[in-house]
Amino acid sequence: MRTRYTLFKSETEPIVIIMAILLVTGTINVFSSSYVLAAMNFENPYYFLQRHLQWLLIGIVACWICRKINYQRLRWLMFIGLGINLFPARGGSLCGDNDQWRAAVDCARPSEFSAGGVCKADGGADGRVLDLGGDRQRAFSYGA
């Protein structure tokens, strides 16, 4: 009889290892890129590292709590989220006038949906839509 050897003990172990590597790498990047800025502006070279570690700890605790929750019992929340997405509230929105927002989304390719949200969320001044010969393009004004 052949014995089967596996590299990991469970299916989730490689995911946890990869996540830990990414968290450590991200923390090193945050610290190395913000050390001088924090030392000059906040008189504490570890300011951004401390904030990052606080949020990292909150995220790890949230993941641990979510791991313990039986989310199958929360399936009824799916219908609330679906209702919010399908039937948004009428009236004012964070993105300005609803017609402007629809025009910005209509001209955007799928990869630009987040860009449309960002340019409309700041008041709509930066992301106006121009109609240039049937081709809709987004015009940005950088600076003045």
Task: Quick: pLDDT tens for 64-85.
Answer: 898 888 888 888 888 888 888 8
Residue 17: pLDDT over 80 = yes
Residues 69, 61 contacting (CB under 8 angstroms): no
Given this model, what pLDDT does residue 102 score? 52
Instruction: Kindly provide the b/e burial profile for residues 57-95, where b requires at least 16 CB atoms within 10 angstroms of the residue's own CB.
Output: eeeeeeeeeeeeeeeeeeeeeeeeeeeeeeeeeeeeeeb
Residue 4: pLDDT over 90 = no
Residue 136: pLDDT over 50 = no
Length of the chain: 144
Given this model, what pLDDT does residue 28 score? 96
